[in-house]
Amino acid sequence: EVDRLSELPHLMEISLMNNPVSRKPNYRTAIIKRLPALIVLDGKEITPEERMRIEQVGGMMPGDPKAPPMIHFA
């Protein structure tokens, strides 16, 4: 069902707390890979460092045209 959310290219924030998917191993990484425009997941900002770790294990590459703009809250 999460894959259906990838049809929402402007989805920037989502909370999946208390959703069964949140109990899956590495669920945060999987969600960030599937929904690259996300800025906030479960109330926690997705940091540039977290994105870099995901990229290193086969996620999107820096400069990828599908990669979301890097917007971070101060």
The partner residues of 44 in beta bridges, in order of sequence, read: 41
Strand, helix or coil for residue 44: strand
pLDDT value of residue 61: 41
pLDDT value of residue 63: 45
List the pLDDT tens digit at each of the 74 positions of the chain.
788 998 998 999 999 999 999 999 999 999 999 898 999 999 999 999 999 998 887 644 444 455 555 555 55
pTM of this prediction?
0.71
pLDDT value of residue 60: 47
pLDDT value of residue 31: 93
Alpha-carbon dihedral 27, 29, 33, 38, rounded to 10 degrees: 90
14 Cβ contact partners less than 8 Å away, ≥ 6 residues apart: 5, 31, 35, 38, 40, 41, 42
Scanning 1-74, the segments in alpha helix (DSSP H) are 2-5, 27-34, 48-56
